[in-house]
Every structure is written in C-alpha cells, then in structure tokens.
Structure 1
Amino acid sequence: MTETIKIAGVMGWPISHSLSPRLHGYWIRKYGLKADYRAWPVKPEELAEKLASLRVDCAAEGGVFRGTNLTIPLKEAALGLVDSLDPSATRIGAVNTVVVGEDGRLSGRNTDAIGFTDSLAEHMDIASLKGGTAILLGAGGAARAVAVALSDLGLAKIVICNRSLPRAETLARHVGAMASAAPWEDRETRLADADLLVNTTSLGMTGQPPLDLSLDRLKKSAIVTDIVYVPLETGLLEAARSRGNVAIDGLGMLLHQAKAGFAAWFGVTPEVDAELRRHVLDGLKGN
C-alpha cells in the first residue's frame, strides 16, 4: 500500500520570495518524510476558498492537506476563517500557522512569539531580561508577536515607538500595563533606558528606506535585534556591533517559528542547527 503524502505550504501575496519552502524542504529530506511543502500565492479575498479547495486538490493527487503557514497580508484575515483559535493566536491577534485536524477542522495558531524567544535564547541568557526595559520599533503584526514574547519574558517596561502613535497606543493597550507608547521622534531619547532594542519595522530591509536611528544613547550592555533578514546584516545591526553591543539577526526567528508547524503537520519535531542556517543562507544569497 502506497503511503499517503502529507502536503503543507505557505500562503501569501506575493510569495515567490519566501524561504519557507527551502527551510521545510530541508527538514523533509533530513528526516526522510513522505511529505511536500509548497508556496501558494493567495490574496486575502481568496483565502477562504483556497483553504477549502486544498483539501480536495491534495486528495485528488493522492495526498492529504495538513496545513499551511500564512504570511503578509493573510495573518489577520485568517482569524475569522479557521474553526478554532489556539490561545497563542488569540493573544497575539494573528494566525501564522494553520493545522488541519484528523476531523478536518482548521486550527489557527501563532508561533512567531516563541520563534522570537528561541532565537534570542541562542545568543543570550533570556532570564536576564526579566525586570528590564525593551524599546520596540514598530506596531504591526510582527510587533504584536514580539511584544507578547517580551511580556512573557517578564520585561518590566515595553516602550513601543511607531510612526503612527495611535497604532502604538493600540498595541500597548493590547499587551498590558507594562507596555506604553512613545512618538516616533522620541525613539533616540528612549534608548538610554533600554536593555533590549528590537526593530520590527521594514526599515533597513532591501528595497526599503534605511532605519534612521543613532545609538549614541544606548548602553553598551544592551542587546540589539532586528527581525529583518534581507539583508542579514542590517544597518542597525552593523551599527550595534561596531560599538560593542550584542547584535542578533532576524534569520533565527524565521527558523525557530517554523518548528511547531512542521511538528504538527508531519509528526517530527525538527532541529534548528548550523547546517540548516547555512542551507537557508545559501537561498538568501541566491535572491
């Protein structure tokens, strides 16, 4: 009897740039699985139909649809389309992972927060952040996940600086009493208190304007991380390293957020290691 192929993938618009197929494909080969991971270009208005049609389409080719990752601009659109929401998705307010249960029902989850935390833990003692202050640049979908992660790590203060102050205020209310909003023009003066600086904006990404931020007020002991990974070494990280701060790139978050979805779809908990990182980096160089 032929073993049924398990099929998962990633949806977004656009999606051709995604490194997720390269990442999951590596794990599928490493663990010798009868599985496939694909990239599906999907607009928000097409998401409901695509989630439903994939069950039929995969079955028609002798496979079974196990679920999908969601990226921009689908993470919030999925909230009302799945049959149930994991507490992680409810708390963050976005879905980045959909899992098809044995009963065919769709569960919406969010692994971005734990992905961010696990990436930090590769480079530092995350327990040392408890009681500290974080400056968070941005208030979009990624910022929501990072802010929740920082709250769970026990940061005493999370200051959210965003170009739109009302969006920063909305996120601060969502996160809780330890979070507050600050005008974008105050971002440099706020650095003096920071134990951790996180950029969740697209500023500094290839094709986007640079992040205009002087680190002169930042303590040398502060950790600096950027969730951007194209380029891997952003201007922010380069500036941080040059003055002696520990700087953490955004690739680790991408790798670590993928683990839980892979385990749910394919039944194997994968490992994030140096070989995986090199493999995905080779894909970045090819872009």
Structure 2
Amino acid sequence: MTGFDTEDDIIPRAGVIGWPVDHSRSPKLHGFWLQQHGLSGRYDKLPVPPEDLAAFMADLPKEPGFRGINVTIPHKVAALPYLAQVDPVAQRIGAVNTITVQPDGSLHGSNTDAFGFLESLKADAPGGWSPAAGPAAVLGAGGAARAIIVALLDAGTPEIRLLNRSRDKADALAAEFGSRIAPADWEARAEALGGAGLLVNTTSLGMAGQPPLDLALDDLPATALVNDIVYSPLETDLLARARARGNPVVDGLGMLLHQGRPGFEAWFGVAPAVTPELRAAVLA
C-alpha cells in the first residue's frame, strides 16, 4: 500500500502523510484555498504506516499530477533520507513538514513550522509581539519546540528558557543551539517565568485527552504574550488563565494555518491568505 490512487491523476494533487492521519485538518485548510481561488486540484489524507514510507517516497515522483505533500507524525524525521535537497531551516530543525516534487522528479524538503509560528504571533498577538520584549520561556523539547527555538533565535530573542519534564533533553538542545538557550528544571518552571516577554507551551499537556498543564503564572509579567500551540481545545486552560489575569494570548490554530501557506503556493501556484473565514472553515 502506498496511499495513492489513480482517480483524477492529471489534476494538480497534494496531500498529507502520517500514521495515523485521520485527525489532520490540513485537507480543510488546503481545500478552502483551492475553492477560494477557483483552482483545479486535490488535497488528500494519505495514511502511510512506517513500514511503507520507503515505497511511498519512491513512488511519489512517479505519480501524475502529484506536486508534493505535508508530513506529520511519525514521518517528519524519517522522511529526510529520501530527499535530494533539504532547506537550511529544516536542516537546523532536523525535520521536514513540507515536500515538493521538483520538475526533474527530485524531492525538496522544507520545514514551515518556524515560519508559521512567527507569522501567527505577528498576525494574532494583540498589540503585536517583538523579540525585544524579553526572554521567552518554552515548555517542551520535542519536534515542535525545535522549530520554535529556531524561529525565536532567528527573530533575535535574547534568551530562551527551556523547560522540559526530562531535563536531559533540554540540556541536549542547549548544547545544540547555543548559549542563548537556558535549560532549567521542570520543578522550577513557575520561577522561570519571571521577567519573560513570551511563554510558549509546545507540550501535549492541556490537549484534549491529555493530562492538564500544571503551571503557576504568578511570576509571569502581565505584559507577556502567552501562546499554546495546542488547538484542541482552541482555548486551553493555560490560555484561559493567562487571559483572565490580563495577558495577551495567541491560540495554536494560527501556526497550523500559516505553516500551510508556503506549501500551497509551491504546489498550486497561488499565495494564499489566512483569514477569519479560513479559521472558521478549518474549525468546522
């Protein structure tokens, strides 16, 4: 099984691979843009178990009309060996989420999560956000955290306080990304919020069906922007508590929407926009 079918091969096609992939909202996102711009094209969910990834990647350039794919768990790192080119940001993050089939049939990989994160802050933060606002406190040390660390470093954030339930993972990221990363013990997470200009939760804590995020916000400045990359629920307990104490907040949906823009433009030839109508369609 490769995840492909032969129906409508000649129209431009893209999709999202993962295992599982049923939960993905990417088809709603790209489907909205296709309809909005009156484009002939398809975007499908493509369930690919890990043991089929090699065959899928080998077949991808041979499929008529296929322009590229988004990549989600568990393939973001596993897809790297099958790519002829990987852009510098994706190399630093160590994962890809967007693959484009080049005219010569080779595969180009990129990671638009860092772009999507920063664009969501620019677009959705009440009053805007500037790295000059002060240190960022980042919860988690997984793949999403890696993308956000790269985004914050490139934006000029002076210090990133990295808090993870396993301290060794935070230490490893500090060794990899340099002196602006300041790892701290998970038990000290509340104190690490003092003087921060930004708080980002990249963990699954607080997501529907997951344990809650236990984090006191007493030391967080009231001016600090709070972002939770979880978008199910759209307003997590962290965002609700931050909003109640007066902090500006940004939910996790914007990162998903904005990260899709570069791939859609590469595959379908139109630069799409993130609008309130798009948010409503993806949430529906």
Q: Which consecutive residues of structure 2, in runs of 5 or more, have no partner in the other structure? A: 1-7
Is the 1:67–1:97 contact (alpha carbons within 8 Å) kept by the matching residues of 2? yes
Shift of 1:123: 2.8
Query: Aligned letter for 1:22?
Result: K
Residue 91 (str. 1) matches residue 92 (str. 2): yes
Counterpart in the other structure of 2:118: 117
Matches within 5 A, 1:252-263: 252-263=254-265
* Distance in 2 separating the partners of 1:97 and 1:247: 27
Residue 170 (str. 1) matches residue 176 (str. 2): no
* Distance in 1 separating the partners of 2:48 and 2:254: 26
Residue 211 (str. 1) matches residue 217 (str. 2): no
**TM-score normalised by L of structure 1:** 0.93
Q: Which consecutive residues of structure 1, in runs of 5 or more, have no partner in the other structure? A: 283-287
Counterpart in the other structure of 1:200: 202
Is the 2:124–2:254 contact (alpha carbons within 8 Å) kept by the matching residues of 1? no
Counterpart in the other structure of 1:23: 29
Is the 2:93–2:150 contact (alpha carbons within 8 Å) kept by the matching residues of 1? yes
Matches within 5 A, 1:1-287: 4-56=10-62, 58-59=63-64, 64-124=65-125, 128-130=130-132, 132-282=134-284
Query: Aligned letter for 2:196?
Result: A
Counterpart in the other structure of 2:4: none
Q: State the identity as a percent.
A: 55
**TM-score normalised by L of structure 2:** 0.94
* Distance in 2 separating the partners of 1:79 and 1:15: 19
* Distance in 1 separating the partners of 2:31 and 2:16: 12
* Distance in 2 separating the partners of 1:150 and 1:235: 24
* Distance in 2 separating the partners of 1:126 and 1:274: 18
Distance 1:11 1:169, change over 3 A: same
Shift of 1:171: 1.4
Shift of 1:55: 3.7
Shift of 1:177: 1.7
Counterpart in the other structure of 1:285: none
Query: Aligned letter for 1:72?
Result: I
**Could you list the per-position Cα deviations for residues 147-191 of structure 1 after superposition, in whole angstroms to 9, with x for gaps in the alignment?**
111111111100110011111111122222211211111101111
Query: Aligned letter for 1:148?
Result: V
Root-mean-square deviation (CA), in Å? 1.5
Q: How many residues align?
A: 276
Is the 2:61–2:101 contact (alpha carbons within 8 Å) kept by the matching residues of 1? no
Which SS does the other structure have where 1:193 is aligned? coil
Which SS does the other structure have where 1:102 is aligned? coil
Is the 1:131–1:154 contact (alpha carbons within 8 Å) kept by the matching residues of 2? no
Query: Aligned letter for 1:35?
Result: G
* Distance in 1 separating the partners of 2:128 and 2:157: 10
Query: Aligned letter for 1:201?
Result: T
Is the 1:127–1:153 contact (alpha carbons within 8 Å) kept by the matching residues of 2? no
Shift of 1:47: 1.5
* Distance in 1 separating the partners of 2:242 and 2:143: 25
